[in-house]
Amino acid sequence: MSDAHVALVVHAGRPDAVALAASTATELRARAIEVSVVTIERSSVFGERDALDNLTPDMLVSLGGDGTFLRTARRAHELDIPVLGVNFGRVGYLLNMAPAELHGTILETLSGAIPIEERSGLSITFPLEGQTAGLFVVNEASLEKTVPGHVVRISSSIDGEDFLTYAADGVLVATPTGSTAYNLSAGGPVLAPSIDGFVMTPVAPHFVIDRSVVLGGEQELTLGVVGERPAVFVVDGVSVAILEPGQTVRCRRHTRRLKVVVLAEVGLGQRLRESLRQGHE
């Protein structure tokens, strides 16, 4: 364990997170563990590089809110290493441990004493500047209206078979991990993190079935912009492209899972209950 490398990713706007990162780094280095501290100002825009892209640690630790965790988790997925989140935000479903537990939790994770959950994420492809781009999605991806007061029309097909065309504020596709975020607010179901699949939920649909559809891990969903209005494509809370009528997004479960450090004594019921309660405070 002494040759391990841990990277702490800190939100610069949270002094308590910055202080905890500094004290934790000191404690870990005293045990001959290599520590890198990366400070980020905001959630990165897709395609922009930052200091995280230059690191290849054995474990990533996020200290901030959901945006910090999502950026850290994407890098952890690229490296196929565990990610641990410490919650300095309001809603704690993703980041399910207290700051005071950080030092001991890192050491126990490195020694193999703490379990790691493998969670399904999404692999999406979409048109960007005349080419096809691909991204890994931790929480959700959505096609949303661009004109206030007007709906956007989104077609859907499952495994190449036409399904429904929605006139709505948008249509989102959420992972099990992200099912308690935008998906839940839109009336979608909560999926246990262990489920091999994802869910499609229309947002404020007009004159059409408003139920969510849960898809299996081997299925592919295609969403297309139809009608006269474009749609903004949003991934994990970040706008990544404007899609014009006729353009499509393809979604399926990513073949590689995201490795998330969890606390064995905190079960799904407790995590969900605390998340729902905090989200409505």
What's the Cα-to-Cα distance from 85 to each of 206, 214, 277, rounded to whole Å? 38, 27, 19
Task: Count other Cβ atoms within 10 Å, centred on residue 131.
Answer: 6
- Matching residue, tokens 């290493």: 81
CA quadruple 47, 52, 55, 61: dihedral sign = negative
- Beta-bridge partner residues of 127: 132
CA quadruple 209, 215, 219, 224: dihedral sign = positive
- So which residues are the catalytic ones? 66
- Matching residue, tokens 């005293």: 30
Take residue 241 and report the two structure tokens written for it.
Answer: 């492209």
Q: What is the DSSP letter of 91?
A: -
Answer for the pair 152, 170: CB distance below 8 angstroms, yes or no.
yes
What's the Cα-to-Cα distance from 200 to each of 83, 157, 180, 267, rounded to whole Å? 26, 11, 13, 25
